[in-house]
Amino acid sequence: AAGVIQSPRHLIKEKRETATLKCYPIPRHDTVYWYQQGPGQDPQFLISFYEKMQSDKGSIPDRFSAQQFSDYHSELNMSSLELGDSALYFCASTARNTDTQYFGPGTRLTVL
Amino acid sequence: QKEVEQNSGPLSVPEGAIASLNCTYSDRGSQSFFWYRQYSGKSPELIMSIYSNGDKEDGRFTAQLNKASQYVSLLIRDSQPSDSATYLCAVTDSGYSTLTFGKGTMLLVSP
């Protein structure tokens, strides 16, 4: 079965640079969630989109923005990167009228 | 603010034993409950979902929910070394809600 696709899988950036993470949900899934997981931490919700509109917002820094496109893929844009942004970033998707979230493999972001 | 509490562990069990993982949550409005398994550096993998009081079984896994006590548990029968991972309890309230995770319990199954 098709799963959530994330790219890139690994990303290394310098402080103050920008990064763009991409997420392709499972086909026919219309809701996308972004989570950040620091070392030894549980996943923290950042933001979600339903039908291309922001549906909920969590602890996402103002330096980050995201959107969902017409094909339902989503991008997380991160600017002015800080050392503390180094983490695993997961995208999850759900089908319409369900709340079971399926996670992608994640993007490991390292900020030097 | 919703809170989900889990013992961090590690919970050590011998191969073939039953592992019991527990989770409590603070929001009485929580509607949906999930157990995810996460290997180090990998993404959370859905193990079980449960929505109503009682037990739900799927293979070697049994989830138990008690909304009155705000308690959800996961039993793993015939534990295998490959079950060694961190188990995350997560809850949502309803609809297109986000997941609130516990900090996870590390399970170690020794051969």
Q: Which of B41, B43, B102 sits opposite A104 (nearest CB)?
A: B43
- Chain B residue closest in CA terms to A34: B98
**Does B28 have pLDDT greater than 70?**
yes
B78 to each of A88, B13, B19, B53, how far by Cα in Å? 32, 10, 8, 24
Q: What is the pLDDT of residues B60-73, one digit of tens each?
A: 999 999 999 999 99
Q: Judge whether B34 is closer than 8 Å to chain A, CB to CB.
A: yes
Judge contact between A25 and A95, C-beta under 8 A: no
How crowded is residue B54: how many other Cβ atoms within 10 Å of its Cβ? 9
Tell me the pLDDT of chain B averaged across its residues: 94
* Inter-chain residue contact B104 with A42, CB threshold 8 Å: yes
For chain A, which residues score pLDDT lower than 70?
none
Q: How far is CA B70 from the centre of its chain?
A: 13
Q: What is the pLDDT of residues A66-91, one digit of tens each?
A: 999 999 999 999 999 999 999 999 99
Tokens of B45: 């993998």
Q: Judge whether A25 is closer than 8 Å to chain B, CB to CB.
A: no
* Inter-chain residue contact B99 with A33, CB threshold 8 Å: yes
